Structure 1
Amino acid sequence: MRIRRMAVRGQAVVVLVILFSLLYPAPAAHASWLDRIKDIYQLPSNVEQIQKDYEATKQQLEEQKDKLSEAVKQSQEIQDRLLSQNEALKKDNEQLQERLKAMEQVALDKDKRNRKITYMVITTAALVVGYFLLGRVFRFFVWQRRKRGMR
């Protein structure tokens, strides 16, 4: 029984190998020496095409390199121009800051002067009013004394 199973398995393996070999595609036939010689003669035209493609690619690369260097120059010029404008604006800003400080100082000085003038006017008015009041009070006391002295 054991031998029979092995025989059946062996036959099954043989059938599978045959089926597999029938279903598996055959490898392509190798080219003959004549085809190889033809390919060798066709190589120079292929090399020439590759060389043309190489030259075209090289030319495109040079053009792109030139464009890139031009773009770099333009961006550098723009950057330099912007930096000079920035410096000019910084100077203008500093001048405006100085003017603003000067104007603020003038306003503070004007306020101080106005306060001093106000204090002086108020003090002068108070002194004048005080002088008249003191004169009236003095006259009143003198009048009261005279009135007592006459009695």
Structure 2
Amino acid sequence: MQARHISAISHALGVLVIVIGFMFPVSAAHASWLDRVKEIYELPENMQQIQKDYEATKQQLEEQKDKLSETIRHSQETESKLLQQNETLQKENQLLQERLKTMEQVALDKEKRNRKITNMIIAAVLLVVLYFILGRVFRYVVWRRQKRHMR
């Protein structure tokens, strides 16, 4: 009787498992244990590929870092050269401005001197003309006096 009882219980359990299996179906197929073992053995190969990719990326990053450092150094050198050129050009500009001021002053002095010379020449010419005119007037006056005295 016990054997029947155990057999009935195992039958009931089997039916219960089948019913539950139909009520709650498995949503996705699971990989078998063989596939998991294969994945474990393939994992080092994947890790090696990931490691290679990491090293390549790291090397590219180092190269880019070196290029960036070189570019920064080059730009700093260029900036330094440009600042030196700017300083040199400012000094040259200042010298040229001083020369220009000196030349303008020389031109003004020359213009003043020329104006003085012109005024002196005009004054001399006017004095000569005035001398001749006064000489004629004086002769005329003397001639008139002599003519009056003669009468």
Decide: shared fold, TM above 0.5: yes
CA distance in 2, matches of 1:65, 1:121: 82
Aligned residue number for residue 55 of structure 1: 55
Query: What is the CA–CA distance in structure 1 between the aligned matches of 2:61 and 2:130, rounded to whole Å?
Result: 101
Unmatched runs of 5 consecutive residues or more in structure 2 = 1-26
* Aligned-partner Cα distance in 2 for 1:73–1:124: 76
Q: Which position in structure 2 is the counterpart of 1:69?
A: 69
- How far, CA to CA, are the matches of 2:60 and 2:145 in structure 1? 124
Equivalent residue for 1:15?
Answer: none
- Aligned residue in 1 for 2:146: 146
Distance in 2 (alpha carbons) for counterparts of 1:135 and 1:34? 146
Q: Which amino acid letter does the alignment assign opposite residue 47 of structure 1?
A: M
Q: CA deviation at 1:28?
A: 6.3
Please say if 1:111 is aligned against 2:111: yes
Kindly provide the amino acid, as one letter, of the partner of residue 91 in structure 2: K
Return the alpha-carbon distance in structure 2 between the equivalents of residues 136 and 111 of structure 1: 37
CA distance in 1, matches of 2:117, 2:61: 82
* Alignment of 1:78 onto 2:78: yes
Query: In angstroms, what is the RMSD of aligned CA positions?
Result: 1.3
Q: Choose 111-120 or 40-49, whichever is displaced more.
A: 40-49
Aligned residues: 125
1:53-97 deviation digits (Å, cap 9, x = unpaired)? 101110111011111101110111011011101110111011011
- Runs of 4 or more, structure 1, over 2 Å off, are 27-30
Distance 1:140 1:60 in 2: 116
1:1-150 matches, cutoff 5 A: 29-150=29-150
- TM, length-normalised to structure 1: 0.78
Normalised by the length of structure 2, the TM-score is 0.78
Specify every segment of 5 or more residues in structure 1 that has no aligned partner in the other structure, as ranges. 1-26
Distance 1:90 1:42 in 2: 71
Q: 2 CA distance for matches of 1:90 and 1:34?
A: 82
Q: 1: CA distance between counterparts of 2:149 and 2:137? A: 18
